[in-house]
Amino acid sequence: MTELWLVRHGQTDWNVVRRFQGNSDTLLNDTGIAQAQTLAATLDGQSFAALYASPLQRAFQTAEVLAERLQLSIQVDNDLVEACHGDWEGMLWTDIKVQYPELIAQRSLDPVNTRPPGDGENVVEVAKRMTAAATRIAQRHPQEKVLIASHGLSLAALICCARGVSLHKIFDHIPKNTQVEKIHWDTTIPCPGINA
């Protein structure tokens, strides 16, 4: 099995005010850059076969800091982007709760199948995309250790799948900014809760 070290990007200004980012291409703030630098320092002495990143700037910037410290090149995988939040992107969480109370209630009861308005992805779609990316990476790097810089909800889907946790619990598994979660990816075991 491949050992995947999953890293959520550093802090952005939108994280601070709880504004939904999704596929919006936001940048790290000064705190986020400092978080990435601190993380990079803690990884000294670790050896990784590869570093993969989402193309969205907040994740790619985080990967750039890690790449410089670890002397790795960055391989971009478009499937590592954050979940698309549709019409919610750019909105504050407080405003979403006021404007979409019924949808938020539905999302609390059924987070797996509830889709944000507009062209948003549901959790099953995110999990399928992320497991496909993890499987590709694992097939390229069997029995190796790989670093992945991505996003909170997308990484939570991968964490749930790897650990056999129901996707209904996905919001409990979103990593903090620059938090590392280590998983072992077995390409032969399907993710519970999504169709093969």
Catalytic residues: 9, 82
CA distance readout (Å), 88 to 124, 168, 173: 18, 20, 21
Token pair for residue 21? 């980012």
- Which amino acid, 58? R
Task: Please tell me the distance from the alpha carbon of residue 150 to that of residue 77, in angstroms, as a whole number.
Answer: 10
User: Which residues are CB-neighbours of 52 under 8 A, at least 6 positions away?
Assistant: 63, 74, 75, 76, 77, 80, 133, 137, 146, 147, 148, 149
Task: Please tell me the distance from the alpha carbon of residue 23 to that of residue 120, in angstroms, as a whole number.
Answer: 10
**CB of 32 closer than 8 Å to CB of 177:** yes
